[in-house]
Amino acid sequence: MTSRILHLSDLHFGRHRPALVEAVVALTQTLAPDLIAISGDLTQRARRRELDAARAFLARLPGPLLRVPGNHDMPGWQLWERFGEPWRKWCSRLGPELEPVVETPGLLAVGVNTARPGGLYRDWSRGRIDADQVKRIEGLLAAGHAKPLRLLVAHHPLLLTPAGAHRGLMGNAEMALPRLRDAGLDLALGGHVHLGYAGVVGGVVIAHAGTGTSDRLVGEPNGCNLITGDGDRIEVAQWQWHGDGFAPAAKHRFLRRATGWAVAG
């Protein structure tokens, strides 16, 4: 069974472009994907009006829908909130689930919250995954072994290109990814760097989407991914904004091999 996933990321309500918001809503209705996955940073500063705008946007999308938070979705320099109740505003506006799970006949999608209030580094935008989260995901992947496609949705990157290398990989990626691959992970979706690309790491397909609707560009147009896949093939089509709509810009194809997923060639 083949599934189609529309992958959005880094919407940044508060720094959003209204025309692109309308274009994304129209695209979801035209494509009618089996799943819409949003990999974090729905807001710019986690202000209530930004979260309300994000909620109104989500309400316009066809289901099923899976969304996880990013580092911009918690308070910034309000340290008493950031460290005391980082997700209070998110949960009050968007619901209590920070790590949702969605199943359809063709796929299992698991969300993980990799955003953290801080860490032993200067760049608090960096994120990480911990051992308890990996254990939870392993169990979900194992229970969903019959699904043709099993995927993870996170905000922070498990793969970087040279253009985004300075942002840093998800913390504990070297521990997490082999374990999740062995548990049956096929595909991981992310954002954070505002660049669209796809590749393979350790037998797992990794796909990142650029910023879908914001003006915070870093060298490429706004974009999203349309992913088509089953148990044997995955195609990641990068769509980009061309001034009057989104259109396909590049495609990446992957095949399952005995040793895991590999670039088709």
- Rounded Cα distance, 138 and 145, in Å: 11
pLDDT recorded at residue 120: 65
Using only C-alpha atoms, the chain has a radius of gyration, in whole angstroms, of 17
Selecting from 1.10.3730.10, 3.40.190.10, 3.60.21.10, 3.40.718.10, what CATH number does the domain 3-263 have?
3.60.21.10
Provide the 3-class DSSP secondary structure of residue 261: strand
- Rounded Cα distance, 229 and 26, in Å: 23
Domain ranges within the chain, ordered by starting residue? 3-263
Provide the 3-class DSSP secondary structure of residue 248: strand
In order along its 265 residues, the chain shows pLDDT tens digits of: 999 999 999 999 999 999 999 999 999 999 999 999 999 999 999 999 999 999 999 999 998 999 999 999 999 777 678 778 999 999 999 999 999 999 999 999 999 999 998 766 677 789 999 999 999 999 999 999 999 999 999 999 999 999 999 999 999 999 999 999 999 999 999 999 999 999 999 999 999 999 999 999 999 999 999 999 999 999 999 999 999 999 999 999 999 999 999 999 7
Single out the residue of 240, 211, 241 nearest to residue 12, CA to CA.
Answer: 211
pLDDT recorded at residue 57: 98
pTM of the model: 0.96
Q: Report in angstroms the alpha-carbon separations of 22 from 19, 52, 195.
A: 5, 16, 21
pLDDT recorded at residue 122: 74
Return contacts of 54-63, CB within 8 angstroms, 24+ apart: 54/11, 54/13, 54/93, 54/94, 55/93, 55/94, 57/11, 57/13, 57/21, 57/25, 58/94, 60/25, 61/25, 61/28, 61/36, 62/28, 62/29, 62/32, 62/36, 63/36
Question: Which residue intervals of the chain are DSSP H helices?
Answer: 18-31, 48-59, 79-84, 88-94, 131-143, 173-182
Tokens for 148, please give them.
């043709």
- Rounded Cα distance, 199 and 238, in Å: 13
